[in-house]
Amino acid sequence: MTTFILRRLLITAVLVFFISIISFFIITLTPGSPYPWGELNPKISESVKANFRKQFHLDEPIWNQYWFNMRGLFTGELRSIKDGRPVLERISERLPATLALNLCAMTIALSFGLLVGVYSAKVSGQWQDTSLSTVAFGFLAIPEFWVAYLLIIGLTAGFAVPLMGTVSHGIIFPNAIAATLDWIWHLALPATMLALGSIAVQSRYVRASLLETLREDYIRTAQAKGLSPEKVLYHHALRNSLRPLITGIGSLLPALIGGAVIIETIFAYPGIGRLGYQAVLERDYPTLVALNFITALLVLLGNLLADILYAIVDPRVRLE
Amino acid sequence: MNPPAQTPFRRAVKRFRRNRLGMLALVSVGGLFVIAAVFAILSSADIPFPSNPNATNLERKLLPPNPINWLGTDNLGRDLFSRMLHGSYISLTVGFVAVTVSLCIGIVIGAVSGYFGRWVDNILMRVVDAVMCFPTFFLILTAVALLGPSMFNIIIVIGLVSWTGTARLVRAEFLTLRETEYVRAAKTLGQSTPKIIFRHILPNAFAPIFVTAVLGIPAAILTEAGLSFLGFGVQPPQATWGNIIADGKTYLLDAWWLIVFPGLAIFLSALSFYLAGDALRQAVETRTERK
């Protein structure tokens, strides 16, 4: 077990290096510059431009810039070009909101994915299965922003579902519980929108994995013993087929965080997705480098955690 | 000895034909192709049919669907129906070319990784893992925004970011196929490595690669729509389904048709590709035969 964890940690360290390189160079190697004024603005003198480049280390060779960015990120010295505040501070004040949104979306995606997946494996090959799979592809094919707007059109006509932000303004809550409930209520619509596509993907994973498990010999043994189909399905097969659900979290997170850019923009939700969109509009290089790096790092750590948890649950994994 | 009754290809075609939903999706994908091809030619020749997609008419702005403008008009009085028809080829082009780019990268990396194995495989797969950690849409948005949004850049960036799945799939196929006897025979005959990879192994991995390619097209179409929606898609005045919605969102509560119809077009075309791709997957899959 220790060697397994050590190996995983070593691989993770290598991945962190690759991730830092990708997130830095994809931003710096693109043409254009992050000047807060126009590239050709005649009113800006050369010395101002030189000062600006010096301040943000833009006059240094690119590997030095990489070094400054990464060191600055870990020491908290990396500052946003837009407002001069440390990038880490800007991101950490937005991070809890995004984590809450993603956690909600993930819970929705996993639980509905599990329910639908198990049901469609149960009725595999029948018309219910075919229609569920069509619906799943429908969910995948829906542009999230489009549904969000349709819902906004539909819901503004008389339903009290909050469409913006995280708090109801102008209401003083008697206690923390009421405030928290209000906050969760604000999460409802964006989290559901975010989870739509992932429900479909997860349900397909669960279905495929469960059908695969149901073909194994020990299932035939259980059936031959005369156990009820329900007992075989839920007690014997389901447990062993949950591996893709755990590893699926790895692919779920990047999709959710990426999708959050659009959803947070629509619902005026103060998370890192919207911060990223603003940073893109402002060409704020340090914030973009940090955001790409930190989100990828979060995903990486999530994967590592899932891997280790899985190795604890299922000893077979350790040997691979 | 009798020749095999059916080639795998014929069997797949036969299976596909039996899938009614898949056939319907295929017909709809075909229809989309025809529309896109016809209107790509019409717009490059500046033929205003059914009307000029960029002609403004402020006397007729924000009209709901009516006999003259079948799907209504936008805030500048442009005909929504013509704009959607003339924008259809953008989505298809982005989908197809982006998937081609990602296939090329994914196949080469997956093939090299799976064929050579060992440290080559180790390094390449760690790169794949690293790319997979990034929230794809945000990475694409960043790169497209900094490069400057144009159709070319969007296609290249989507292709550059979305090859990881293909690479893993091709690698897995190669890991099994490189151990087969015909590969050993080719090696013994002294064939060059590129020839073994591309002439002997790759054709045998064709079916699963083709399926992922078809399933990749709707994903690219949706990504382009999302980028357009955020203002970093193909730029106006060229109409695309995504940027019609993006422009229309200002009139959200007054002009529902500006949101509903282009969104429906994106949804239906993505759905057709997904269903056609899924039917294809079922048709070529050999594992289900065991049941």
The answer to whether residue B134 is domain-embedded is yes
**Would the CB atoms of B135 and A295 count as touching at under 8 Å?**
yes
pLDDT tens over chain B, length 291 residues = 566 667 777 888 888 888 888 888 889 989 998 988 888 888 777 777 777 777 777 777 777 887 777 777 877 878 888 888 888 888 888 889 999 999 999 999 998 988 887 888 888 888 888 888 888 888 888 888 888 888 888 999 999 888 888 898 888 888 888 888 888 888 888 888 888 888 888 888 888 888 888 888 999 999 988 888 888 888 877 888 888 888 888 887 788 888 888 999 999 999 999 999 888 888 887 655 443
**Would the CB atoms of B143 and A30 count as touching at under 8 Å?**
yes
- Where in the sequence is the domain holding B135, given as residue range(s)? 84-264
**What DSSP designation does A79 have?**
B
What's the CATH class of domain A87-313? mainly alpha
Compute the count of residue pairs across chains A and B with CB atoms less than 8 Å apart.
155
B251 touching A, CB under 8 A?
Answer: no
Distance of CA A208 to the CA centre of its chain: 23
The answer to whether residue B230 is domain-embedded is yes
**Would the CB atoms of A23 and B230 count as touching at under 8 Å?**
no
Please provide residue B79's backbone torsions phi and psi, each rounded to the nearest 5 degrees: -75, 120
A215 touching B, CB under 8 A?
Answer: yes
Residues from chain B that touch A31, judged by Cβ atoms under 8 A, are 146-148
Closest CA to A105 of A253, A250, A247: A253
How many structural domains comprise chain B?
A: 1
Residues 18-37 of B with CB under 8 A from A: 21
DSSP-based three-state secondary structure for A151: helix
Q: Given the cut 0.85, state whether the ipTM is greater than it.
A: no
pLDDT tens over chain A, length 320 residues = 778 888 888 888 888 888 888 888 887 777 766 666 666 677 777 777 777 777 777 777 777 778 777 777 777 777 777 777 888 888 888 888 888 888 888 889 888 988 898 888 888 878 888 888 888 888 888 888 888 888 877 777 666 666 666 666 666 777 778 777 777 788 888 888 888 888 888 888 888 888 888 888 888 888 888 888 888 888 888 877 777 677 777 777 777 887 888 888 888 888 888 888 888 888 788 888 888 888 888 888 888 887 787 777 777 766 65
Neighbours of A255 (CB within 10 A): 18
**Would the CB atoms of B129 and A149 count as touching at under 8 Å?**
no
The residue extents of the domains of chain A are 87-313
Q: Is the peptide bond before B50 cis (omega within 30 degrees of 0)?
A: yes
The answer to whether residue B153 is domain-embedded is yes
**Would the CB atoms of A254 and B148 count as touching at under 8 Å?**
no
- CA B82 to CA B53: how far, in whole Å? 5
- CA A168 to CA B47: how far, in whole Å? 52
- Are A283 and B146 contacting, i.e. CB atoms less than 8 angstroms apart? yes
The answer to whether residue B282 is domain-embedded is no
- CA B182 to CA B83: how far, in whole Å? 54
Please report, for the domain that includes residue B200, its CATH number: 1.10.3720.10
- CA A69 to CA A74: how far, in whole Å? 9
Start-to-end Cα distance in chain B: 27
Residue type present at position B116: F
Neighbours of A167 (CB within 10 A): 14
Which residue on chain A is closest to B123 by alpha carbon?
A14
A202 touching B, CB under 8 A?
Answer: no
The answer to whether residue B151 is domain-embedded is yes
Alpha helices, H only, chain B: 8-18, 20-44, 80-116, 118-133, 136-147, 151-161, 164-177, 181-188, 193-195, 206-229, 241-248, 257-284
The answer to whether residue B71 is domain-embedded is no
Contacts 24+ apart (CB under 8 A), B62-71: B62/B251, B62/B254, B62/B255, B64/B255, B64/B257, B65/B257, B71/B257, B71/B261
The answer to whether residue B254 is domain-embedded is yes
